[in-house]
């Protein structure tokens, strides 16, 4: 699965912060940690639901202070992803989690985009997607978009993440309208823990190009029919769904049903430093645990390029490589 060319469309760059990096950055930035070792930190990575993960995910971000930290974190992710066969990555970042601690928007974006520039030399292209935290206010989201305006040439789109239930897409209608007016693409997490209605709202009110997760869409047959008819891409993250308790084990994941329904599914890692695998590990896991066939895996890789924001020439080139791939 490592040599199958693929795009990764659902990865939170802060979710690639490996425990070793947490300690390294804490030490150089003089940030005190409530753990005495990497092993102790890793032993806390037992989650019951999304919120139990988010608590430690945001706590660890305290070590991200400088442009260099953001640069090194993204460079490490891109190196790991190149080894996983990733040829193109569309990467989420959560600026509010940093600006509220006094980190400048410019330091975040310079750090991340600098790493993306360098990775081009290694045959991997990338884009940044600025995510709004849905458990923060709509006003805070609008203020964040304003702060990002000087850097829009380095941002391809906006997204919506963090604690889903109780924070429907409708809360962010205005800021997504503004983002689209500014020429940005749009995606949103919906139907991860939240109901199918949130998926419909993301499509109708936020006018998103893709749905992140979307697994709970299967609870609503009419919505499934719409997702199939409109070929709305879903960025599914199997290892994440198991670690956050949507499925008790991978063999119970509904990926086979999503594929049987004819939906435009892609495979992704979400927060690989926390969930036990990068993107190719997700491909291998669904092959081993769900019996996903080689031709289905090839289709999932092709879908990742179809669902991406790549220009059509580059997309065609990468799709040819997927066709030529031999398992
Ligand atoms: N932020 C990082 N990972 C997330 C996830 N799986 N769902 C929502 N917000 C997130
Ligand atoms: Zn996510």
Q: Report the CATH number at residue 165.
A: 3.20.20.140
List the structure tokens of 312: 């059509």
Q: Which residue has the tokens 């884009």?
A: 127
Residue with tokens 């991406």: 308
Q: Are 213 and 187 in contact (CB under 8 A)?
A: no
pLDDT of residue 243: 98
Measured by CA distance, the residue closest to atom 6 of ligand 1 is: 270
Residue 231 within a domain: yes
**Three-state secondary-structure class, residue 36:** coil
For residue 321, how far is its CA from the centre of ligand 1 (angstroms)? 31
For residue 122, what pLDDT is reported? Answer: 87
List, chain by chain if needed, residues with CB within 6 Å of any ligand 1 atom: 12, 15, 50, 57, 161-162, 189, 192, 240, 270-271
Range of the domain at 46: 6-324
- What is the side-by-side strand order in the sheet with 233-236? 6-12, 86-93, 125-133, 157-161, 185-190, 210-213, 233-236, 264-267
Ligand nearest to the CA of 191: 1
In a domain, residue 314? The reply is yes
In a domain, 246, yes or no: yes
Q: Is 192 a catalytic residue?
A: yes
CA dist 102 and 193 (Å) reads: 31
* CA–CA separation, 74 and 12 (whole Å): 10
What is the Å distance from ligand 1's center to 267 Cα? 15
Residue 27 covered by a domain: yes
Which segments of the chain are extended strands (E)?
6-12, 86-93, 125-133, 157-161, 185-190, 210-213, 233-236, 264-267
CA distance 132 to 110: 19
Q: What's the CA-to-centroid distance between 326 and ligand 2, angstroms?
A: 30
Any domain includes 256: yes
Which of 98, 159, 192 for a ligand 1 pocket mutation test, highest count of atoms within 8 Å of Cβ? 192
**From ligand 1's centre to the CA of 162, what distance in Å?**
5
Whose tokens are 């709509």? That residue is 138
List the structure tokens of 298. 């090839």
pLDDT tens across the length of the chain (327 residues): 999 999 999 999 999 999 999 999 999 999 999 999 999 999 999 999 999 999 999 999 999 999 999 999 999 999 999 999 999 999 999 999 999 999 999 999 999 999 999 999 989 999 999 999 999 999 999 999 999 999 999 999 999 999 999 999 999 999 999 999 999 999 999 999 999 999 999 999 999 999 999 999 999 999 999 999 999 999 999 999 999 999 999 999 999 999 999 999 999 999 999 999 999 999 999 999 999 999 999 999 999 999 999 999 999 999 999 999 998
Ligand 1 closest atom vs CA 244 = 6
User: Strands 125-133 and 6-12: what pairing?
Assistant: unpaired
Which pLDDT score, from 0 to 100, does residue 167 have?
A: 98
Q: Looking at 90, 164, 192, 201, which residue is catalytic?
A: 192
- The DSSP code for 17 is -
211 within some domain: yes
| Domain total in the chain | 1
Residue 1 belongs to a domain: no
């Amino acid at each position: 699965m490592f040599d199958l060319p693929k795009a990764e469309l659902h990865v939170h760059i802060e979710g690639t912060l490996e425990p070793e990096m947490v300690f390294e950055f804490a030490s150089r930035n003089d940030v005190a940690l409530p753990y005495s070792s990497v092993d102790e930190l890793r032993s806390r990575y037992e989650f019951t639901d999304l919120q139990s993960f988010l608590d430690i995910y945001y706590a660890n971000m305290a070590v991200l202070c400088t442009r260099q930290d953001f640069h090194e974190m993204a460079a490490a992710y891109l190196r790991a992803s190149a080894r996983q066969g990733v040829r193109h990555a569309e990467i989420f970042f959560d600026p509010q989690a940093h600006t509220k601690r006094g980190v400048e928007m410019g330091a975040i974006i310079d750090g991340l985009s600098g790493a993306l520039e360098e990775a081009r030399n290694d045959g991997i292209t990338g884009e940044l997607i600025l995510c709004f935290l849905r458990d923060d206010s709509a006003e805070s989201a609008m203020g964040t978009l304003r702060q990002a305006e000087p850097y829009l040439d380095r941002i391809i789109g906006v997204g919506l993440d963090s604690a889903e239930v109780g924070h429907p897409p409708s809360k962010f209608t205005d800021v997504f309208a503004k983002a689209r007016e500014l020429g940005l693409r749009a995606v949103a997490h919906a139907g991860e823990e939240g109901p199918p209605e949130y998926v419909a709202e993301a499509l109708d009110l936020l006018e998103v190009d893709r749905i992140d997760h979307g697994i709970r869409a299967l609870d609503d047959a009419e919505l499934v029919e719409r997702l199939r008819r409109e070929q709305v891409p879903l960025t599914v993250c199997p290892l994440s769904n198991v670690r956050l308790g949507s499925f008790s084990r991978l063999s119970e994941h509904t990926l086979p049903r999503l594929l049987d329904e004819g939906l435009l599914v892609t495979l992704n890692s979400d927060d690989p430093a926390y969930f036990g695998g990068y993107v190719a590990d997700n491909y291998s896991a669904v092959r081993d645990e769900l019996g996903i066939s080689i031709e289905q895996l090839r289709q999932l890789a092709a879908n990742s390029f179809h669902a991406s924001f790549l220009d059509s020439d580059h997309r065609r080139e990468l799709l040819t490589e997927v066709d030529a791939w031999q398992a």
